[in-house]
Amino acid sequence: MDTMFTVEESNLICIFVSENKAFTLESRNEVLKDIERVLPYLEDTDMAELSGRVIGKLRVMSDEEFKRLELTEAE
Q: What is the DSSP secondary-structure string of 13-53?
A: HHHHHHHHSS--TTHHHHHHHHHHHHGGG---HHHHHHHHH
Query: Regarding predicted confidence, which is higher, 1 or 37?
Result: 37
Mean pLDDT, the chain, whole residue set: 84
Q: Which pLDDT value is given to residue 67?
A: 83
Whether residue 70 has pLDDT greater than 90: no
Query: Regarding predicted confidence, which is higher, 9 or 1?
Result: 9
Under a CB-based contact definition with an 8 Å cutoff, are residues 28 and 58 in contact?
Answer: yes
Whether residue 56 has pLDDT greater than 90: yes
**pTM, two decimal places:** 0.81
